[in-house]
Amino acid sequence: MALQALQSSGVAFRKILSHFPEELSLAFAYGSGVYRQVGPSSDQKNAMLDFVFTVDDPVAWHSKNLKKNWNHYSFLKVLGPKIITTIQNNYGAGVYYNPLVMCDGRLIKYGVISTNILIEDLLNWNNLYVAGRLQKPVKIIAMNENVALRSALDKNLKSAVTTAFLMLPESFSEEDLFIEIAGLSYSDKSPEGQFTQLMTLPKTLQQQINHIMDPPGKNRDVEETLLQVAHDPDCGEVVRLGLSAIVRPSSMKQSTKGIFTAGVKKSVVYSSLKLHKMWKGWLRKTS
């Protein structure tokens, strides 16, 4: 029964994908519309489906998508594909979202990101917006033979496992590890081992840790700071602060950009749906 449901959802996702231009280097779905959430009142069938489309040439892709799906876009569509791509690449987390779209009888939201920008985020964690999503369960619907992208996807998961380990206590359960990030089991939390792992973290996370730990006027290089952090009993908390410094600004900027890319009306409706979902989740926890 579960296998039939999985196959059925895969067919449904590919059918939705057929409504969009084909030039995708990666397409995946995520969220409660894909994976059943905990709780008896979870309504997976009617939940909004969330997609991310990765494209090599955003201008060409938006140009074709505007012809096929003009009504998906906010007022920014009148400015054309070049301006849409500029807004996509240069503001927020490098993603252009079209939310609250009816497609094949389902309510969907889809984000478009440049392949090059995604690869940079996967490798360096520039903002951890889509890279962070790809560290969680997602359903890959389409993927081309881009070797650089495939390599970056693997590196992102390896970095996530390393970071999760650094934030875990000396001893932890399998569940603890999967809660932080699903991955391999490691042993030996020595300063030498932690320094080796810190040196393999994505560049932006290393820089954030250096910014947090470097005293004013010192101007130490990253390697010197990471060596100090490796000997710090609060190494995991420092890593956690570095992650927060990456994620928080990009999320705020992306949310602000959503007002323009989605339009005011859609933004209000979408925010209301999110608040309603949060309220239902809170009620389940307190009941």
pLDDT band at 65 (very low <50, low <70, confident <90, very high): very high
Whether residue 262 is contained in a domain is answered as no
Portion of the chain with pLDDT greater than 70, in percent:
72
pTM: 0.70
Strand ranges in 26-105 using DSSP code E only, listed in sequence order: 26-30, 49-55, 95-103
Residue 265 lies in a domain: no
**CA 77 to CA 199: how far, in whole Å?**
44
Examine the pLDDT at 186 and tell me if it is beyond 70. Answer: no
Q: How far apart are CA 47 and CA 42, in angstroms?
A: 9
Mean pLDDT of 155-182: 79
Q: Where are the alpha helices (DSSP H) in 112-167?
A: 115-124, 130-133, 147-167
Q: Residue 121 pLDDT > 50, yes or no? A: yes
* DSSP character at residue 77: G
**143 sits in which H/E element:** strand 139-143
Mean pLDDT of 12-39: 86
Helix or strand (DSSP H, E) at 244? helix 235-262
Q: Which residue has the tokens 């069938």?
A: 45
CATH number at residue 12: 3.30.460
Mean pLDDT score of the chain: 79
On whether residue 259 sits in a domain, the answer given is no
Is 57 part of a structural domain of the chain? yes
Residue 177 lies in a domain: no
Q: 128-151 in b/e burial notation, b at 16+ Cβ within 10 A?
A: bbbbbbbbeebbebeeeebeebee
CB 109, CB 51: distance < 8 Å: yes
Q: In this predicted structure, which of 13-27, 150-164, 218-232 has the lowest mean pLDDT?
A: 218-232
35: containing domain: 2-153
Residue 204 lies in a domain: no
Q: How many other β-carbons are positioned within 10 Å of the β-carbon of residue 230? A: 20
CA dihedral 70, 139, 161, 225 (to 10 degrees): 0
pLDDT of res. 140: 95
Per the structure, the count of domains in the chain is 1
pLDDT of residue 202: 87
SS3 163: helix
Instruction: Tell me, yes or no, whether 236 lies in a domain.
Output: no
Average of per-residue pLDDT across 68-79: 91
**Is residue 20's pLDDT more than 60?**
yes
Give the mean pLDDT of 210-216.
79
Binning the chain into helix, strand and coil, the percentages to the nearest 5 are 60, 10, 30
Give the mean model confidence (pLDDT) for residues 91-96.
Answer: 83
Q: What is the pLDDT of residue 222?
A: 83
* Per-residue pLDDT band at 182 (split at 50, 70, 90): very low
Q: Please indicate, yes or no, if residue 192 is contained in any of the structural domains.
A: no
183 — pLDDT class (breaks 50, 70, 90): very low
Evaluate if residue 158 carries a pLDDT over 50: yes
